[in-house]
A and B are shown apart, each in its own frame.
Chain A
Amino acid sequence: MSEKINFHLIDLKKYYGQREVLKGITLSFLEGAKIGLIGPNGAGKSTLLRIIAGEDKNFEGEAKAKAGLTIGYLPQEPALNEEKTVAENVDEAIEHLRAIEARYYEVMNLLGDAEGAEAEKLNTEYDHLQHEMDSKDIWNIDSWLKQAKAALCLPPDEAEVQVLSGGERRRVALCKLLIDHPDLLLLDEPTNHLDADTVAWLEEHLANYDGTVILVTHDRYFLDNVVGWMLEIERGRGTPYKGNYSDYLDAKQGELDVKRQADAKTDRLIKKEKEWKGRTPAARATHNKARLQRYKEMVEKRREDAVESIELQIPPGDRLGDKVIEVRDLTKGYGDRVLIRGLSFDLPPGAILGVVGANGMGKTTLMRMILGQEEPDSGEIQIGPTVKLTYLDQSRAILDDEKTVYENITEGNDLIPYGNATLEGRAYAARFNFRGEDQQKKLGECSGGMRNRVLLARMLRHGGNVVILDEPTNDLDLDTLRVLENAIDTFPGSAIVVSHDRWFLNRLVSHILAFEGDGYVNFHYGTFESYVEWRKEWREKSDFPLDSQAGRYRKFRG
């Protein structure tokens, strides 16, 4: 394949009011490049995707596609044709293929009666159509359409799209997009609302995709498995890195080490400049403006950098005894539906338990039983006498949109007990990366990621030595995620974490509790990766029904 540049951005600038979100980005993409876009929330990743997609034309500089390039875009909330069914929506993507098919058979019929120049013309067209039929595999259109729908676990063909859930709508939009097969594919959080098997399928499909792919995702495994390039958007600038997410982390670490040395030097310089500044007030006014300017720049730079180096610590509670949580022969169901059948396990002190499984299988119900908010049908849950539980709720209903971030976090307490010390409310909130003006923001104006941090700060304020986190990683940007991971990693108690984030599950978790459906809940010693290995064997041995056909990878075109 001869690779050519098929898209470029030159001096791209984007303003929101007075704020310059993108400060001049110049980039080119080659055919077939797979690029992961990362950066803090609000840095402009989705904006950049929209600009490349041509949906946002309000910018300075140039964003240009090579002539004839086809572009497909999956926004976070994709639009579908509300009047139509699932099948009709997907069919929109293949209208042009159906047209080729129809014309092919038409020309074939016409050829029978044609003569002379007319026949020659039709023959040429027939050859062309034949080529199209072959190269686009239109012969097997119905079969690969069916495969695509199965791979993405689409709702039934006849379902009206207006009654679909957000997750189902995304699947339909994604399926349509992949079938459309654009030269440049732009995906904003493609793995949101997808189950693990579909994510695995999508990973493989995109890794083999012959066009260019640019995607924004919080799923670090997805990044690792799909992309060959990373583009970091930070403070309005774009920095390219070659490699996947792991490579990026390595490179970033290297840069940080270099920077730390440079920072130490900057600190020394600032100190020296400060002395100089204090010593010669008269000189300052008259000359050496450049030097003053330099001082200001250095201080400014340190202030900007300080944002990055937040460290979050979960306030430690009292020492945890040997007995934490013991579950014995637990069974729970609603009506005919059994969620948990005969589950027994012990959670040891210091363990980080990852809870996995599709939505609606009973994960949250188990959490509620541990918290004593719901009773088991049979069996028992014993909580150790030294345990103090803190629960981070998925629904976030307890937050008040009318109040500020600060008020939501502190709930009127200006002093927060923190380990053995006491912190001022502002300092406490700052530990969760809320600085000055952010603390005064009304919660109603905050993004999903910020709300999640507010909740985290509020719940963790109470201390506790066993924390239960229900989907804490949703909507967090990668930086905050890393901070949260470090916090959990160094937390002196036990933690129970409900999560879909495989990176999180593999790097932090010591035990896995997996809801497989139909009351099967497996307790496993080890990371998610080792559980997946184990499950493969378990499924083969126990002839457990596969919950979806997506598990096995199939290409659906060509």
Chain B
Amino acid sequence: MSRSYWGAPHLFGADDARSIPDPELESVRSTLIKYIPADVGQAGTRVQMLSFLMDHPEALQRTCEEGHLTASALVIRAEGECGLLTLHRKLGRWLQVGGHCDGDGNLAAVALREAVEESGVEDLEVDPRPIDLDMHRIPAHKGEPEHWHLDTRFLAYAPPRAKLRMSDESLDLRWVGVDELRAIDTDESVRRLFRIAFE
């Protein structure tokens, strides 16, 4: 008998850690609930994401057609104000590295895993506190209907003089400086990430 401490914040009804319906999903919810939104927009996105999860408890899997959870990271390095962006093969845009959760509810770990895979840098470090939430539509592609991505973003740190190695998901991969951002084809949410990281 105690308060509900086991990483299921304010979840009523589970008798103990083992009877939490889906611990992976609960881990996602817990991350979102603990996240302190910086402005009204972020507060709204947080509510939207938590509501989506209530109506779609299977959202950790990409088989959830309405939409699913993803995690990403803005990788930064000690040398200068720049972030790692990749020219996405499918979308044709410069984006931060990241990918699908595929059942893993540890969002920071997913972001790290995807960042390592896409950058080729083995010894990245990720801060487990999210810095930004974003919910966006993904257009229909190869039989997959249009759907939502619920993306949780983290900050990751690359060691000095890290060597980049491109994965086959991307057309290009490079460090982009704050001042170069205006010149490339990217989206508002990436610019937002740079603002959070460097302002």
Contacts and interface: CB of A to CB of B under 8 A. Distances in A.
A238 interface: yes
Contacts of B14: 3, 30
A5 interface: yes
Contact of A240 (B3, B33, B43, B55): B3
Chief secondary structure at chain A's binding surface: strand
Interface in A221-240: 228-229, 231, 238-240
Contact of B29 (A28, A29, A238): A28
B178 interface: no
Interface residues of B, number: 24
A251 B47 contact: no
B51 interface: yes
B11 A26 contact: no
Contact of A2 (B9, B10, B21): B21
A4 B4 contact: no
B121 interface: no
* Interface of B (DSSP majority class): mixed
Contacts of A67: 55
Interface string A239-277: 111110001001100000000000000000000000000
B46 interface: yes
B12 A64 contact: no
A239 B9 CA distance: 10
A249 to B, nearest CB: 10
Contacts of B15: 228, 242
**Interface bin, chain A:** 35 or more
Nearest to A67: B55
B57 A247 contact: no
A2 B57 CA distance: 11
A28 B10 contact: yes
A22 interface: no
A241 B13 contact: no
Contacts of A229: 12-13
A6 interface: yes
B29 A62 contact: no
Contact of A3 (B13, B43, B47, B53): B13
Interface string B16-56: 00010100000001000100000000010011001101110
Contacts of B21: 2-5, 30
Contacts of B1: 241-243, 247, 250-251
Contact of B13 (A2, A31, A66): A31
A19 to B, nearest CB: 22
Contact of B50 (A6, A10, A35, A231): A10
A219 to B, nearest CB: 20
A8 B21 CA distance: 15
Contact of A5 (B4, B9, B43, B54): B54
A48 B29 CA distance: 22
Contacts of A33: 12-13
A26 B13 contact: no
Contact of B3 (A2, A35, A241): A241
A461 B10 CA distance: 44
A10 B11 contact: no
Nearest to A64: B51
Nearest to B44: A62
Contact of B4 (A3, A6, A240): A240
Nearest to B19: A3
A212 B10 contact: no
Given A5-B57, A243-B1, A30 B12 contact: yes
Interface of A: 2-8, 10-11, 26-33, 35, 61-62, 64, 66-67, 212, 228-229, 231, 238-243, 247, 250-251
12 contacts: A3-B13, A4-B54, A5-B57, A28-B54, A30-B11, A30-B12, A66-B54, A229-B12, A229-B13, A241-B2, A242-B1, A242-B2
- Which 8 A-B pairs give the minimum distances between C-beta atoms? A33-B13, A30-B13, A247-B1, A27-B10, A243-B1, A33-B12, A62-B47, A29-B12
Given A28-B29, A241-B1, A243-B1, 13 more contacts: A5-B11, A5-B21, A5-B53, A8-B51, A27-B10, A28-B11, A28-B54, A31-B13, A33-B13, A35-B12, A67-B55, A241-B2, A242-B15
